[in-house]
Amino acid sequence: MHTPLHSRARFRALLSASCCAALGAALLAGAGTATATAGPAEDPSAGPAGSKVVGYFTDWGIYDRQYYVKNIETSGSADKLTHINYAFGNVTDGKCALGDSWADTDKPFTAEQSVDGVADTADQPLSGNFNQLRKLKKLHPGLKVLWSFGGWTWSGGFGEAAKDPAAFAQSCYDLVENSKWADVFDGIDIDWEYPNACGLTCDTSGREGFRDVLAALRAKFGKRELITAAITADATSGGKIDAADYGGAARYVNWYNPMTYDYFGAWDATGPTAPHSPLTSYPGIPKEGYDTAATIAKLRGLGIPSSKLLLGIGFYGRGWTGVTQAKPGGTATGPAAGTYEAGNEDYKVLRTTCPPTGTVGGTAYAKCGSDWWSYDTPKTIKGKMKYKDAQGLGGTFFWELSGDTSDGELIKSIN
């Protein structure tokens, strides 16, 4: 089976083993059926245009990976981040729900594991990652945290949510603004993979479903709270971007995170080998429209302002084995071995086990033995930052924090 763009199928498995402004205004002004608060206020903490740095933190990272909120601080990443997306809350029965209550609110962290070196106690009202995020925010008052819902595994619930967007929005508001942790979160991130298209399951919410859900969320959360969405990067004609009204929904979000990675990978077991996050197309690319520049151009063509689009980077590589050709386009026999998932490995591992042997389409690739990997490096990220600035994009986001080195090598290259 061909795994779609941005396959985050690794989630739960880890726990068990611009076009012209006039066109944009016209497109956006007529969009939306809800009598919603028209749009978000600007985030006063965001800083100058293009300066957002948004990193995903995964709740399950505290288990096998032993990546804690504390590591965001000790790596120096907290000083570089403007926003953290906490992944993931569940979407079930048409409502927002806790994803992993033990990790989120209950797990007691030792002094060694804690952000401030103070151990959790049995009688405190809130433990888990939420309490650790609270401590991190105290050290970094300008840092914002959004609670991300859905993801690859739990996007199937959005279809039900789209049947009654107002009820869904109310459930999300009640959960995010729960008095036990309301101070932890500054908004909500919707990671619907994919509206009116297929991801782990297929969605038939209709072209307006995504727009209506975002409109309802904005109406409920109001102008001051942040609302963002991770969206497909499929820029092919008739592809996933065309399946939903991303242009119409843009008026309700502070920004979009187009998932400009996982374009190619070993779900195509025999290849051809190709970089999973190319910045631009290149001669021999297996599929046109599967590159960052094509994605950004397509979204801008819908009238979405550049300032509402962030550049996506993967802090991991995708790889094949049984490869004899060093350059892209070679055949393979299957996915290369990975620590947690076949065909996937963290940058912090690959930088030493399979260092780059070439670049293509603005990203790096590596041939070591019969394995072939592609991933971004500090050098290729700097190239992508030049593109981000030239396009006037709102900033950068990445998946995800634990893939970086212990001293934050990749996030430092973003800044």
| Catalytic (active-site) positions | 193
Burial of 92 (0-12, 13-18, 19+ CB in 10 A): middle
Cβ density class 186-214: b for 16+ within 10 Å, e for less: bbbbbbbbbbbbebbeebebbebbbbbbb
Phi, psi of 387 (to 5 degrees): -65, -45
Q: What count of other Cβ atoms lies within 10 Å of the Cβ of residue 114?
A: 18
Phi, psi of 358, rounded to the nearest 5 degrees: -175, 175
Q: Residue 206 and residue 41: Cα distance in Å, rounded?
A: 28
Contact 343, 266 (CB under 8 A): yes
Q: Which two tokens stand for residue 358?
A: 């070439």
- Pick from 136, 146, 122, 135: nearest CA to 73: 136
**Which residues have a Cβ under 8 Å from the Cβ of 44 and sit 6 or more positions away?**
none
Return left, alpha or beta for 196; rule: phi > 0 is left, psi -120 to 50 is alpha, else beta.
left
**Pair of tokens at residue 357:** 């042997």
Tokens of 201: 């399951």
Please give the structure tokens belonging to residue 332: 């393979």
**Residue 320 and residue 270 in contact, taking contact as beta carbons nearer than 8 Å:** no
149's tokens: 């819902």
Q: Give residues with Cβ within 8 angstroms of 398, minimum separation 6.
A: 54, 55, 56, 312, 313, 314, 315, 410, 411, 414
Name the 3-class secondary structure at 231: strand
CA nearest neighbour of 314 among 402, 195, 191: 402
- The DSSP element (H or E) to which 28 belongs, if any, is helix 21-29
293: left (phi over 0), alpha (psi -120 to 50) or beta: alpha
